[in-house]
Amino acid sequence: MERRAAGRADRRWLLAALAVLAAFMVGEVVAGLLAHSLALISDAVHLLTDAAALLVAVIASRIAERPARGAFTYGFARVDALSGQANGITLLLLAAWITAEAIRRLIDPPDAAGGVIVVVAGIGVIVNVVATRLAARADRRSLNIRGAVAHLVTDLWAFVATFAAGVVIMATGWTRADPIASLIIAVLMITTGVKLIRDAGRVFLEAAPAGMDPMLIGSDLAARHGVAQVHDLHVWELTAGEAALSAHVLVDQVGDCHEIGDALRAQLAAEYGIEHVTLQVDHVSSRDDGHCADAHGPVHTPPGR
């Protein structure tokens, strides 16, 4: 229930940001066409992707709350990563289009109305600050929400670059400042897009969460009193900010498997924040020579063994 309540609050902030952006986007498209400004039009296109990213984030947040069922035994939490990856790919595709168009306009620059660009971009900075602050109130651990906020932040810097281009055009008449601002926007979009795709890739490849060392975790578990060996240890992300762990634990002949298993689960939750834990806990047998030849991956043993 707590997770659902947090999800509803996140969606309210995202929808508020979406309403602010949609209202401004329409006006910016009209202004960009009237001023013959690629920077304004590219900002408007980016705003459209911002709006789409926010809408997708709202839908993905709702889907991710669905309980596990049927073949989806882990539920739908990784819709969060799918949404983040989609946002990253969209940013890269738009950056490619803006770069190509900017290069064409650098070669053959059209007339651009600097005054209109300055006014619209100035309003855009204010609007984007408001939208970004609204969206940033949602849970930033989610890749889905991080992707939506990333769109807004890059667009904020894009408006700043566009505003600067408009000032240059007004002061000097140098219209190539407009496509140069567009290239700056494209670089920001590429940087953000690559990071989102990389972070989503870590989730899909089931890498350990960033900053979490599986070798250290295995050593800590093996150091617990009564534990003889830990192997087949796997740590991965179910979704951004939510880790899972599985391992095979061998305990001394005199140890209590249930008691040690419960203690290890409590240790993982307290020290590493890992609550989705699957442990197979068995007594060590006379056949186990401390190497466990059938184990997959590193074998962790207590210090001194």
Element of type H or E holding 282 = strand 276-283
How far is Cα 75 from Cα 63, in angstroms, rounded to an integer? Answer: 9
Q: How many helices (H) and strands (E) does the chain have?
A: 8, 3
SS3 content of the chain, % helix, strand, coil (to 5): 65, 10, 25
- Kindly list the structural domains of the chain, giving each domain's residue range(s) and its CATH number in brackets, ordered by start: 2-204 (1.20.1510.10), 214-283 (3.30.70.1350)
- For tokens 């089931």, what's the residue? 206
How far is Cα 32 from Cα 139, in angstroms, rounded to an integer? Answer: 34
- For tokens 């008691």, what's the residue? 259
The segment with the largest mean pLDDT, out of 69-83, 87-101, 115-129, is 87-101
Given CA atoms 250, 255, 259, 265 in this order, what sign does their dihedral have? negative
CA distances from 172 to 37, 76, 118, 154, 169 (A): 16, 55, 14, 27, 5
Pairing of strands 242-251, 276-283: parallel
Mean pLDDT of 160-169: 85
**Over 90: is that where the pLDDT of 98 sits?**
no
Residues above pLDDT 70, as percent of the chain: 89
- For tokens 């250290």, what's the residue? 216
**Over 50: is that where the pLDDT of 1 sits?**
no
Question: Which carries the bigger pLDDT value, residue 96 or residue 27?
Answer: 96
Question: Which carries the bigger pLDDT value, residue 47 or residue 287?
Answer: 47
Query: According to the model, what pLDDT value does residue 11 have?
Result: 80
Residues above pLDDT 90, as percent of the chain: 18
Q: Whole-model pTM?
A: 0.72
Strands (DSSP E) contained in 164-267 are 227-239, 242-251
Query: According to the model, what pLDDT value does residue 279 have?
Result: 94
